[in-house]
Structure 1
Amino acid sequence: MAVGLTLVLAVSLACGVTLGATGLGRGQVLRLMWAGLSGGRLGSDDAGAYTIVWEIRFPRVVLAAVVGAGLAAVGVGVQALVRNALADPFVLGISSGAAVGANAVILFGALAGLGVWALSFSAFVSALAATVIVYAVARSPLGLSPLRLVLTGTALAYGFQAVTTVMVFGAERGEAARAAMMWLLGSLGGATWSKIPPAATTVLAGWVWLRLRAGALDALSMGDETAATLGVPPDRLRRELFVVTAAVTGTVVAVSGAIGFVGLMVPHLVRMLVGASHKRVLAVAPLAGAVLLVWADVLSRVLLAPTELPVGVVTAALGVPAFLLLMRRGGHALTGR
Structure 2
Amino acid sequence: MIRLKPRQTFQMDVLIQKKRTFFLWTAGLSAAVLVSIVLAVCYGTVRIPPAEALQILLYKMLQADSGELSRAHMDIIWEIRFPRVLMAVITGAGLAMCGTIMQAAVQNPLADPYILGISAGASLGATFAVLIGAGGIFAGLGTAFWAFCGALGACLLVMALSGIGGQMSTVKMILAGTIANALFSAFTNFIIYTAGNAEGIRTVAFWTMGSLAAAKWSNLLLPALGVILCGGLFLCQSRILNTLLLGEEAAITLGVNLPRVHRNYMLATALITGLIVSACGVIGFVGLIIPHIVRGLVGTDHRRLLPFTILAGALFVTWADVLTRISLESGELPIGIITALLGAPVFMYILFKNTLGFSSK
Under a length normalisation based on structure 2, what TM-score does the superposition of the two structures give?
Answer: 0.85
Q: Which has the larger radius of gyration?
A: 2
In the TM superposition, what is the alpha-carbon distance from 1:160 to its structure 2 partner? 0.8
1: distance between equivalents of 2:175 and 2:163? Answer: 12
Specify which of 2, 21, 28 is matched with residue 45 of structure 2: 21
The alignment status of 1:164 with 2:180, answered yes or no, reads no
Specify which of 226, 244, 265 is matched with residue 250 of structure 2: 226
- Aligned residue pair count: 336
Q: Which amino acid aligns with 2:219?
A: K
On the 8 A contact 2:109/2:356 being kept in 1, the answer is: no
On the 8 A contact 1:92/1:152 being kept in 2, the answer is: yes
Q: Report the more deviating stretch, 191-200 or 51-60.
A: 191-200
Please give the residue correspondences for 1:74-223 in structure 2 after superposition, counting only pairs within 5 Å.
74-108=98-132, 110=134, 118-140=142-164, 142-172=166-196, 174-223=198-247
In the TM superposition, what is the alpha-carbon distance from 1:231 to its structure 2 partner? 2.2
On the 8 A contact 1:111/1:118 being kept in 2, the answer is: no
Q: Which amino acid aligns with 2:113?
A: P
On the 8 A contact 2:320/2:338 being kept in 1, the answer is: yes
Q: Report the more deviating stretch, 87-96 or 59-68.
A: 87-96
Q: Report the more deviating stretch, 193-202 or 128-137.
A: 128-137
The alpha-carbon distance between structure 1 residues 121 and 217, as it changes in their structure 2 partners (threshold 3 A), is: same
Specify which of 76, 94, 97 is matched with residue 70 of structure 1: 94
The alignment status of 1:274 with 2:284, answered yes or no, reads no
Residue aligned with 2:357, SS: helix
The alignment status of 1:59 with 2:83, answered yes or no, reads yes
On the 8 A contact 2:110/2:288 being kept in 1, the answer is: yes
2: distance between equivalents of 1:67 and 1:107? Answer: 24
Q: Report the more deviating stretch, 20-29 or 8-17.
A: 20-29
In the TM superposition, what is the alpha-carbon distance from 1:215 to its structure 2 partner? 1.3
Q: Which amino acid aligns with 1:94?
A: I
> 1:4 aligns to what?
28
On the 8 A contact 1:327/1:334 being kept in 2, the answer is: no
CA RMSD of aligned residues (A): 2.6
2: distance between equivalents of 1:100 and 1:171? Answer: 14
On the 8 A contact 2:300/2:359 being kept in 1, the answer is: no
On the 8 A contact 1:134/1:156 being kept in 2, the answer is: yes
Q: Report the more deviating stretch, 33-42 or 265-274.
A: 33-42
1: distance between equivalents of 2:176 and 2:119? Answer: 14
In the TM superposition, what is the alpha-carbon distance from 1:43 to its structure 2 partner? 7.9
2: distance between equivalents of 1:109 and 1:215? Answer: 43
Q: Which amino acid aligns with 1:29?
A: A
In the TM superposition, what is the alpha-carbon distance from 1:331 to its structure 2 partner? 5.2
In the TM superposition, what is the alpha-carbon distance from 1:258 to its structure 2 partner? 0.7
In the TM superposition, what is the alpha-carbon distance from 1:25 to its structure 2 partner? 2.8
CA deviations over 1:227-284 (Å, ceiling 9, x no partner): 1222222222222222222222222222221111110001100011101111110120
> 2:58 aligns to what?
34
In the TM superposition, what is the alpha-carbon distance from 1:100 to its structure 2 partner? 1.4
Please give the residue correspondences for 1:44-55 in structure 2 after superposition, counting only pairs within 5 Å.
46-55=70-79
2: distance between equivalents of 1:67 and 1:322? Answer: 20
Q: Which amino acid aligns with 1:190?
A: A
Please give the residue correspondences for 1:237-276 in structure 2 after superposition, counting only pairs within 5 Å.
237-276=261-300
Which runs of 5 or more structure 2 residues have no equivalent in the other structure? Answer: 1-24
CA deviations over 1:11-47 (Å, ceiling 9, x no partner): 1101111111122233332222222113468689833
Residue aligned with 1:148, SS: helix
On the 8 A contact 2:209/2:337 being kept in 1, the answer is: yes
On the 8 A contact 2:209/2:283 being kept in 1, the answer is: yes
Residue aligned with 1:284, SS: helix
Q: Report the more deviating stretch, 100-109 or 316-325.
A: 100-109
On the 8 A contact 2:292/2:356 being kept in 1, the answer is: no
In the TM superposition, what is the alpha-carbon distance from 1:189 to its structure 2 partner? 0.9
In the TM superposition, what is the alpha-carbon distance from 1:173 to its structure 2 partner? 7.1
